[in-house]
Every structure is written in C-alpha cells, then in structure tokens.
C-alpha cells in the first residue's frame, strides 16, 4: 500500500486522533495480572496494541473484543497467567516484546516471543542485560528476537542505572520487579514517559519516585480498575506539524494526552515559532489531557534541547519535517535511540529529506537539517509507520507530487490515518501500487 499526495493544501477543522498506544499496551498487561475486572475506554485498535491483546489471551486471560475503543479484562492476578500453547507473535511491536519479556521473566512457565521481519532485526540486549542480572534466563538470536524466556526462575530485585534514557527498558525492569524478591529500582539519565508508573499506581500498586529514581517492592497486588485512555500525542504530532507548516491552517486536536513526560513535541515546535494553544487542560484517570489548537506560523531552525529529546523521541521524524520547512538550521543530537526503532529513523529521514532536496548532515546521535524548498519524488519508508506519516505531511509544502511507498505499517499505530488526513485537508490517495 502506498500514499500518493498532491502538493499544497491546509489543515482545518476539529478531530480526535486514536488512543495512546503506550497506554493501550500497558492497560492490557497490567489489567491481565490484576485481581478483578478492568474496563478500558479509548483503547487503540491498531495492530501493535491488538498484538499485545492476543498474546495475553493466549496466556489464558479473558479479554472482550474492542468495540469503539472499549473492552473489559478479567484479570487473573499476578501469578495467574498460563503458558501459551504457541509462540507469541507480536508483529511489529517493540513495546510489546520489550515489556513482555520483563513480565514473562517472573512466570513459572517457558515462553517464546517473536515478531515480523522488522522486529527480528531490532536489538534486545538492553532489556536482556538487566533482566539477566535479576536472575532471568533469556535466549535470543544474537541479541535479537525470537526471545525464549525460561520460567521458574527466582528473580531478585536490583538497582539499575539506565545507560540510555528508555521508557521501554525502565518498564521492562519494573514489570520484572513485580515478581522479584525485595526492591527493584531504576535511575534514569533523563526523564522518559512515565505511563507504567502512573498506571501501576492506578491499579493500587505502590511506586516510589524521587530524584530520577523509580522503585517498587515485589510481591504486591494489582486491583482491577477503570482506565480512560486519551488521544495519542505521538499521533497528534503529525497534525501539529502539518498545520504549523501549511499556510491558512487552523486545526484543533481534541482530548490529547499531555503527560509532562510526553509533551516535548509541543515545547520543541513552540521554540521553533509554532502557534499552539493548550485549551481546557484537565485530568482524566490520573493523566493530564487537553485540546490543542494549532495555526500556521513561520518556523525558524533551532538547536533542539537535549533534555527534550527523550520526551519527544517518537515524534522526531515529524519534527524533522518541520525543520525542513523552517528558516535556518535545526540540529538534533542525543537521539541515539532513533537508530533502533522500526527503522534507523535518522538514516530513513535523511534519505527522504535528501530525495526532496533538503540539505542535511547525519551524525551518530542525530542530524542537522537546513530548511528550504521541498520538491516531489518517491519516499522509501523502510516499512516504518512514523516515516510514512511524517513524509505525508511534507506534501503540504512540496512543489510536486509525492509517492510515499510501503505504508501498510501505518495501521500498527494509527488506523484511519489516511481518512482523517483527507478530512482535514491533505490531498492524499491510497493505492495498492
């Protein structure tokens, strides 16, 4: 499946993007190991989150089919999961496999987790290392999936200093810590998204947070609860950028999660000169939520603050499209994490920007982009959903037609993206060839 885009246009109206993917994953995982029933609304019915749902069903958890983002989970308790009679395939979802391997390390049974060809190339050593130090036994294919997790291991809590800021590694260690004896804690070199900590607290599990250290005691109990998942700011990011770069745009994004460990995209775009208003801020189920109104404004290049990078790591491909439309040079550094996403996102974005005539220089941990006029052309996405959606927004400022190739993976995080983009004003057609 490919996107074909005519140049120009503007984004207007009022829309709600799908529910937060990070929270959707965690709602299934924690609801499954809680005592009692958990009701979820706003669940993202994308392929990644559905892969997590299928995996926990395979381990004996009764989960209703999502209907308009609502589902019910009959939790089996911390020790109530059953062995799957099959290899659990989580498709393209790095979040699923990295968090699940932590949770599965504490089970009494063996498990095997695999994924698609893209996932099989993604490094897992950064979660295997701390989990092994806790006593887990995990086999991999040269540090990549499939991962075979040995059951019946006695885990011991540890303190782990994260070498790189990563919410996935932090969460994996904390989930293993639920099954470990004693205290498990993690120190972050920089703040990362804190949905795991917030949601554990929502399930009644005590979590200590102080001065960059997050810790918990093993052996507690989670209690079923109601979870309302806000719209995903990572999905909203494409529209924030699109409306910022397209003259005449005036777009409102409704009920967006603005968790302070996720809202780096807003601060970065504002620093570039974007016109973004935060309207009706409120709290829903322990998570801050607001409506975001964004209007076109001329952008300028900036040095992206290093401390903001972990708070907007998934949004960086979209930010680089904004950089391509800004006056001057934008410099991104401290973003090594982008090298190990669904694609090497630094390399993928550099390749696409070069194709559109935008000058850029690649570094091991980032990229510099010089704003200019974007031409048309054919963009290779490397089967990465965020690369596809970012370059779709580039058409708003391109001078010629764009073809964005291999976009089927967009459904992993943003089902209905093309329809919503057309509704707001993007000149986009979807075709098989």
State the DSSP H helix or E strand holding residue 333, giving kind and residue range, or none if neither. none
Same fold for the pair 2-19+230-431 and 21-228: yes
Yes or no: domain 2-19+230-431 corresponds to CATH 3.10.310.40:
no
Every domain of the chain and the residues it spans: 2-19+230-431, 21-228
Positive or negative: CA dihedral 48, 50, 53, 58 = negative
pLDDT beneath 70, residues of the chain? none
Look at residue 404 and give its three-state secondary structure: strand
| Tokens found for residue 153 | 């291991």
Q: What fold, for 21-228?
A: UDP-n-acetylglucosamine1-carboxyvinyl-transferase; Chain (3.65.10)
**Cis bond upstream, residue 146 (ω within 30):** yes
Tokens of 293: 């109104």
The phi, psi pair for 331, rounded to 5°, reads -120, 125
β-partners of residue 19 are 231
Number of other CB atoms surrounding residue 407 within 10 Å: 25
pTM for this predicted structure? 0.87
- Catalytic sites, residue numbers: 314
Are the C-beta atoms of 330 and 358 separated by less than 8 Å?
no
DSSP code for 398: B
pLDDT at 285: 75
CA distances from 418 to 3, 46, 316, 379 (A): 8, 14, 20, 17
Query: E strands along 219-328, which residues?
Result: 226-228, 250-257, 275-284, 287-295
First to last CA, the chain: 6
Name the strands in the sheet holding 329-332, side by side, starting at the edge strand that comes first in the sequence: 329-332, 366-370, 360-363
CA-to-CA separations, 263 to 92, 117, 160, 311, 314, in angstroms, rounded? 24, 31, 26, 6, 11
**In the numeric block, which tokens belong to residue 124?**
């897992």
Contact 4, 407 (CB under 8 A): no
Q: What is the CA radius of gyration of the chain?
A: 21
**Calpha distance 167→192 (Å, rounded):** 5
Round to whole Å and give the CA distance between 382 and 107. 35
């Amino acid at each position: 499946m490919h996107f074909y885009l005519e140049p120009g246009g503007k984004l207007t109206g009022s829309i709600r993007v799908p529910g937060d993917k990070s929270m959707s994953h965690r709602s299934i995982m924690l609801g499954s190991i809680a005592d009692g029933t958990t009701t979820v609304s706003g669940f993202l019915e994308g392929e990644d989150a559905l892969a997590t749902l299928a995996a926990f069903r395979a381990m004996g958890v009764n989960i209703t089919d999502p209907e308009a983002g609502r589902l019910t989970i009959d939790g089996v308790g911390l020790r109530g999961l059953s062995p799957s009679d099959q290899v659990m395939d989580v498709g393209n979802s790095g979040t699923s496999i990295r968090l699940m391997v932590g949770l599965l390390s504490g089970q009494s049974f063996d498990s095997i987790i695999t994924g698609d060809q893209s996932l099989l190339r993604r490094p897992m050593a950064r979660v295997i290392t701390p989990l092994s130090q806790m006593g887990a036994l995990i086999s991999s294919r040269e540090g990549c999936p499939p991962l075979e997790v040995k059951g019946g291991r006695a885990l011991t809590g540890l303190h782990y200093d994260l070498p790189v800021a990563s919410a996935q590694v932090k969460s994996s260690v904390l989930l293993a810590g639920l099954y470990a004896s004693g205290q498990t804690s993690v120190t972050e070199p920089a703040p990362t998204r804190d949905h795991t900590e917030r949601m554990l607290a929502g399930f009644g599990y005590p979590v200590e947070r102080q001065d960059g250290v997050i810790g918990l005691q093993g052996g507690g109990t989670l209690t079923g609860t109601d979870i309302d998942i806000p719209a995903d700011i990572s999905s909203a990011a494409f529209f924030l950028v699109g409306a910022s770069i397209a003259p005449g745009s005036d777009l409102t994004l409704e009920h967006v999660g603005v968790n302070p460990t996720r809202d780096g995209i807003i601060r970065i775009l504002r620093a570039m000169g974007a016109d973004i208003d935060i309207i009706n801020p409120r709290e829903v189920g322990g998570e801050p939520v607001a409506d975001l109104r964004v209007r076109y404004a001329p952008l300028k290049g900036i040095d992206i603050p290093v401390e903001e990078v972990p708070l907007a790591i998934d949004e960086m491909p979209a930010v680089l499209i904004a950089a391509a439309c800004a006056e001057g040079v934008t410099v991104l550094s401290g973003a090594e994490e982008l090298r190990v996403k669904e694609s090497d996102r630094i390399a993928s974005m550099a390749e696409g920007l070069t194709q559109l005539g935008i000058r850029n220089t690649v570094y091991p941990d980032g990229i510099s982009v010089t704003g200019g006029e974007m031409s048309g052309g054919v963009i290779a996405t490397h089967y990465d959903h965020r690369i596809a959606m970012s370059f779709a927004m580039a058409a708003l400022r391109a001078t010629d037609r764009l073809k964005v190739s291999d976009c089927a993976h967009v459904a992993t995080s943003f089902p209905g993206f093309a329809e919503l983009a057309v509704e707001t004003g993007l000149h986009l057609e979807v075709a098989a060839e």
